[in-house]
Amino acid sequence: MNIASQAAQIGLDWDTRTGAVTVPIYQTATFRHPGLGQSTGYDYSRSGNPTRQALEDGIAKLDGGCRGFAYASGMAAITSLLFLFSHGDHIIVTEDLYGGTYRLFEKIFNQYGLEFTYVDTSDTSAVTSAIQPNTKALFVESLTNPLLKVADISALSALCREKGLLCIVDNTFLTPYLLRPLDLGADITVYSGTKYLAGHNDTVCGLVVVKDPELAEKVYFHQNGAGAVLGPQDSWLAIRGIKTLSVRLDRQQENAQTIAEWLTRHPLVRKVYYPGLPGHPGHELLKAQGSGFGAMISFEVADPSLVEPLLLRTGLISFAESLGGVETLITFPEVQTHADIEPEKREKLGINKVLLRLSVGIENVDDLIADLDQAFAIEEAA
C-alpha cells in the first residue's frame, strides 16, 4: 500500500467495538485489572496507552520498522536512545546538526562519559576515518540542519554493519514519506514529530522507529524506565497530523522548489541551499534514495544588514523558530536554533551572519514570493 494511504489510515481500525474512525483519546493514568495476575495489556499509561500505541504502531508501519516509540519531545527521544550507550562509548555525529542536539551531546551527556566526534556525514570517507576502537554508533541527519547536506544512508548503513555500529538516522526533515532509512539499512530512525509529522505547530513530540525486535526491547526498557512518554492528547494530535502528511508535503515541496529557484535569481542573495536544485551536491543522491527533496531552504543574503529587515518586514512569513508546519517560518540559525554551537565552529561550518533558514508552508506560493520580494525591496530602495 502506498505510504500516503497508510498515513491517512492511522488509527482507523483501533476501536473495533464502536467502529470509531478516529482513535479515541484514552485520557487515563491507569487501567483496571480484570483479575489477580491478569491484564488487559495496559496497566499504567507510562508503560503503555492505547492512543499512544496507535501512534507508535502507525509510525512503525510508515517507516518499515518492527516497533515505534513516542516521546514528550524530539530531544526526549534522542536522550532515550543515548541510554543504549555506556561510559567511554564513542559516537560519530553529523557536524552541522540541530543546535539542540549538539547541546544535548556536549553539555549533558559528555559529563557522563560519552564521547562525540563531529564530521561531514555527506562524506562517507570522513565517517570511516572517524571510527575509533570504542566507536559504537553513527548519528546522522539524513538532511542536515541548517545546511541541507545529503547523507548516503545506504553507504553509511553498510559501513556501520561492517564495523558493528548502530546506524541512527534523524530523518526529521524528510519523514518516511520522502525517505525510509530503515529500507536503506539503518537500525533506528528518530524524528522531532513536532515538525512535519504532526505538521500544525500545535504539539511537541518525538518519535523513534526500530528495525530489530531485540533492539526494540532495549529501547522500550529505557522509554518505560525514564518515562518521557507522549501523553494521549498529544498522541492524538500527532495521529491527526500524520493523516495529512502526504498532501501537506506535496504542497510544501512544490512551494519550496519555486521559492528556491526564485531566490537563486535574486541580486541580494548570494547562495541558496536546497537539494531540489540540480546544482546541489546531494541532488542526484537524494533523487536516487528518496522520493522528494523536502521543504526546507537555507540561503545567504549579500550583507549582514539585510538579515534583520528580512526577519521583521515579512508579513505572511513569520519570524519564529521550529519548522515543518503549514505556516511558513523564517529563522536566523546563528542566534536561534544553533546558538549553542561555539561561534568558531558555526563560522567554520557556514552557519554565519548572513544565513537564513526558511521552512516553507502550504500558503499560495505567489503570496510567499511577494512577501519576500517586498521585504527585499525595502532594503533595495534604501
293 Cβ contact partners less than 8 Å away, ≥ 6 residues apart: 178, 253, 256, 257, 274, 275, 276, 283, 286, 287
Q: What is the CATH number of the domain that holds 312?
A: 3.90.1150.10
Does the pLDDT at position 382 exceed 60?
Answer: no
- Which of 202, 224, 242 marks a domain boundary? 242
Q: Given pLDDT bands bounded at 50, 70 and 90, which one contains residue 12?
A: confident
Same domain, 149 and 265: no
Asked if 230 and 53 count as a contact pair (C-beta separation under 8 A), the reply is: no
Same domain, 282 and 299: yes
Does the pLDDT at position 371 exceed 90?
Answer: yes
Same domain, 261 and 223: no
pLDDT recorded at residue 337: 67
Instruction: Decide the pairing of beta strands 115-119 and 355-359.
Output: unpaired
Does the pLDDT at position 358 exceed 80?
Answer: yes
pLDDT tens-digit readout, 131-175: 999 999 999 999 999 999 999 999 999 999 999 999 999 999 999
> Percent of the chain scored above 90 by pLDDT?
89
Report the C-alpha gap between 144 and 170 in whole angstroms.
9
Average pLDDT over residues 357-378: 95
Average pLDDT over residues 207-225: 98
Same domain, 183 and 280: no
Same domain, 286 and 223: no
Average pLDDT over residues 69-97: 97
Same domain, 115 and 256: no
Average pLDDT over residues 45-70: 97
- Which of 242, 268, 285 marks a domain boundary? 242
Q: How many CB atoms lie within 10 A of CB 274?
A: 25
pLDDT recorded at residue 244: 98
CA distances from 198 to 53, 74, 124, 126 (A): 16, 12, 32, 34
Q: Given pLDDT bands bounded at 50, 70 and 90, which one contains residue 379?
A: low
Report the C-alpha gap between 151 and 64 in whole angstroms.
20
pLDDT recorded at residue 11: 87
pLDDT recorded at residue 241: 98
> Percent of the chain scored above 70 by pLDDT?
97
Does the pLDDT at position 332 exceed 80?
Answer: yes
Asked if 218 and 69 count as a contact pair (C-beta separation under 8 A), the reply is: no
Q: Given pLDDT bands bounded at 50, 70 and 90, which one contains residue 280?
A: very high
161 Cβ contact partners less than 8 Å away, ≥ 6 residues apart: 167, 185
Same domain, 261 and 327: yes
Same domain, 147 and 285: no
pLDDT recorded at residue 380: 52
Report the C-alpha gap between 170 and 149 in whole angstroms.
13
Does the pLDDT at position 91 exceed 70?
Answer: yes
pLDDT recorded at residue 236: 98
pLDDT recorded at residue 350: 75
CA distances from 14 to 29, 64, 370 (A): 19, 19, 45
Catalogue the active-site residues: 46, 98, 170, 195
Per the confidence metrics, is the pTM higher than 0.75?
yes
Amino acid at 173: F
Q: Given pLDDT bands bounded at 50, 70 and 90, which one contains residue 318?
A: very high
pLDDT tens-digit readout, 114-131: 999 999 999 999 999 999
pLDDT recorded at residue 335: 73
Q: What is the CATH number of the domain that holds 71?
A: 3.40.640.10
Per the structure, the complete domain to which residue 24 belongs is given by 3-242
Which grid cell is 72?
514528550
Number of compact structural domains in the chain = 2
Q: How many CB atoms lie within 10 A of CB 247?
A: 13
Q: Which of 9-18, 77-86, 149-158, 335-344 has the lowest mean pLDDT?
A: 335-344
Helical spans, DSSP H, in the chain: 3-8, 50-63, 74-82, 99-107, 124-130, 153-163, 175-178, 213-226, 232-242, 245-264, 283-289, 307-313, 343-349, 365-381
Does the pLDDT at position 182 exceed 80?
Answer: yes
Average pLDDT over residues 186-191: 98
Q: Positive or negative, the Cα torsion across 68, 358, 106, 125?
A: positive
pLDDT recorded at residue 89: 98
Question: Phi then psi for 139, rounded to 5 degrees?
Answer: -115, 110
Q: Positive or negative, the Cα torsion across 221, 107, 115, 348?
A: positive
- For 288, counting Cβ atoms within 10 Å of its Cβ (0-12 exposed, 13-18 middle, 19+ buried), the class is exposed
Does the pLDDT at position 344 exceed 70?
Answer: yes
Same domain, 12 and 128: yes
Same domain, 256 and 320: yes
DSSP symbol at 266 = -
- Which of 242, 262, 288 marks a domain boundary? 242
Does the pLDDT at position 381 exceed 60?
Answer: no
Q: Positive or negative, the Cα torsion across 319, 322, 324, 326?
A: negative
Same domain, 236 and 251: no
Average pLDDT over residues 280-292: 98
Same domain, 249 and 238: no
Q: How many CB atoms lie within 10 A of CB 75?
A: 19
Report the C-alpha gap between 189 and 77 in whole angstroms.
10
